Structures are given as structure tokens and as C-alpha cells.
Amino acid sequence: MRIGFTYDLRADYLAMGMSEEDSAEFDADVTIAALVGTLAALGHEPVRIGNIRALTQRLAAGERWDAVFNICEGLTGYAREAQVPGLLDAYGIPYVFSDALTLALCLDKAWTKRIVRDAGVPTPDFAVIERPADIGKISLPFPLFLKPVAEGSGKGVTPRSRVNNAAELKSVATELLARFRQPALVETYLPGREVTIGIVGTGDEARALGTLGIIPNDNALSVDYGFDNKERCAEYIGYRLVGEAEAQDAVDVALAAWRALRCRDGGRIDVRYDASGNPQFIEVNPLAGLNPEHSDLCFLARFKGFTYQELIGMIMSSFLRRHPELASRRAAA
């Protein structure tokens, strides 16, 4: 199967003058090379495309592919992760991972929480600060946790994200609004442990790959999994595979959220425990990082005994089950 490969290369944006934090969601050369090699090893013909502008140019020139393996994060707008899927939908080209609606929704953490809450999935109480005037309207009890409403890779999460009083709330919220030029999400702070659940599959066929405990080391910059801790995870973070029995309640939360959000093929759900030991949905990553040396989903697969090729193979198997016409064409070839 001739499969196009869309991605945002971090080195390109760094060369344009973007900061390390602003470019954190984009992919490293090692990720691109690993995915190209793995797709080829799985029997496909990978074709490097690049970002949405490169995709647009090649579509306009008449180039087509049987499918596209899409990991583009996008550059601007709340629906930036949905731009490539929307374009591919317009041209009738199937693609791996979630569709435009799910990707646009899931980038907004508040909208995501409203959907999962209405689906009966437990998630911390929250509010949204759209503008400075909203800060004084927050009535949730302290401590609270603040972060940008539409960022990934821990951007905007710092040791100051946990606030204990109105003065800290005002200071941190004001900084977030100015720095990220988007609303800030305010949540009830959960003091329990954090885990991330890897998921492969779609709908009723979705299953948990495993559960990874996120354990900040004594020298970590904070007890939360923020940008600096993630970027230097080898130094600041310890990871522990959580046994199936121990993790079952968190897995149930993750799978319920995954299905409610209509996520597809593969990704991660982050869960944190409250003071009573109950797991709560935090956020979803329907375009989880696939850096074999750095990404949580890849760490988890390795801890579970899966090779990188097996992980990508499971994701591709889910995609092909959604597109039996491609699977049968591949079998005939």
C-alpha cells in the first residue's frame, strides 16, 4: 500500500526561530526516520510528504496515495490538529488516527471534559478563564491547578500551576492568558498519583495496551508532569508499569473516555487519582508522540514487551479494520 506520511518536523520550526517550548509538539528526525522504516518493514510504501503546506501543494499537483499516516500537529488555531484530516477528507483519502472533529474537540481540554463528563466519565471539577475579568468569578475550592486550555506536551505547566489562594490564582492565570493568548483551564487539584494508559483500536475494539505510572524523581522541577519534566524525562521522571489488576479502574475510565470522544487507532489517556484513590480523567492525546526514544506510548509498549514495529503494526491493523477495502487490496497484491 502506498501510504503518504504527513508530519511537522521540529528542526524546521527551530530553524525559523521558534523556541524549544513553542515547538515541543513537533516531531524529531528520529521519529520520522523510525516511522518511515517501520512502515516499510510492515510491507507498505511510505512516501514522505511533510506539513500541511507540502500536502496542499502535492494534492494540487495531482499526487494521490492509498492512505496517509498523519501525525501533523498543525501550527495555528484551536483546530490546528484537524487541518490535515479535514483536507484529506475533502479529497477522499483515508488516514490513520482520529478524524477532524475528534482532533479539533480534543485539543480544547475544557470541551473535552464536558463531553466525557456528560458520558459519565469522572473528571475533576473545572472552570475556564476566558479573560482577566473571569478570574474573580472562580468559586472552586483551593488548591486548584491551572494550564492553557489548548496546548500539549505539558506547555504552560510549571511548579506554579498548583495555586493555593486567590492571589496565586490571579498571578498564574494572568501570566497564562498573556503568554498563550488563549483561555486557561482551572481544575480541582488531584493529589494522587498520575498514570497514562496507552490505547490501540477503535470503538468497541479499542483495548488498553497497558498503564504507565508517572513518578517524578526527588530532583524533579515539580510533582506534576509539565513541560520541563517531560523534555528532560530521563533526568526528572521515573516510569513504572502498573499491573492489570491494580490499574483496572483507571483503564475503565480511559476506555470510556476514548470511546465517548470517538478516538481511533491509537493514543493515550492521562488519568490522575483523587484524595480518595478514585481515578479521574485528565486529558486525551489522540495524536500521541511516537518518538521511539522519548514518547510515553513508546515507553509503555517497550515495558509491555512490544517492539516499535509491533506497536505501529497494531495501530495500522486498527486502521485497516476500519478500511477493509484497503486490507483486501493489500492482500490481493
Instruction: Express each pLDDT in 217-259 by its tens digit.
Output: 656 555 565 555 455 556 667 889 999 999 999 999 999 999 9
pLDDT at 5: 98
Torsion angles phi and psi, residue 38, rounded to 5:
-70, -45
> For residues 127 and 132, what is the distance between their CA atoms, to the nearest angstrom?
13
The CATH T-level fold of domain 2-97 is: Rossmann fold (3.40.50)
Say whether the peptide bond before residue 143 is cis (omega within 30 degrees of 0).
Answer: yes
Instruction: Express each pLDDT in 140-199 by its tens digit.
Output: 999 999 999 999 868 889 889 999 999 999 999 999 999 999 999 999 999 999 999 999
Grid cell of 17 as nine digits: 526561530
Grid cell of 170 as nine digits: 490571579
Instruction: Express each pLDDT in 85-130 by its tens digit.
Output: 999 999 999 999 999 999 999 999 999 999 999 999 999 999 999 9
Beta strands across the sheet bearing 194-200: 237-242, 207-216, 194-200, 266-273, 279-285
DSSP helix/strand/coil, 331: helix
Instruction: Express each pLDDT in 64-87 by its tens digit.
Output: 999 999 999 998 899 999 999 999
Identity of the residue numbered 269 = I
pLDDT at 218: 58
Query: Between 3.40.50.1370, 3.40.50.300, 3.40.50.720, 3.30.1490.20, what CATH number should domain 125-188 receive?
Result: 3.30.1490.20
- Per-domain residue ranges for the chain? 2-97, 125-188, 194-321
Q: How far is CA 218 from CA 160, 238, 313, in A?
A: 17, 10, 37
Left (φ > 0), alpha (ψ -120 to 50) or beta: where does 229 sit? alpha
Torsion angles phi and psi, residue 118, rounded to 5:
-65, -25
70: β partners: 6
Q: Count H helices, E strands: the chain?
A: 13, 13
> For residues 110 and 130, what is the distance between their CA atoms, to the nearest angstrom?
11
Q: Is domain 194-321 classified as CATH 2.40.10.10?
A: no
Task: Find cell 519534566 and name the residue.
Answer: 229
Task: Find cell 477522499 and name the residue.
Answer: 92
Q: What element of type H or E holds 216?
A: strand 207-216
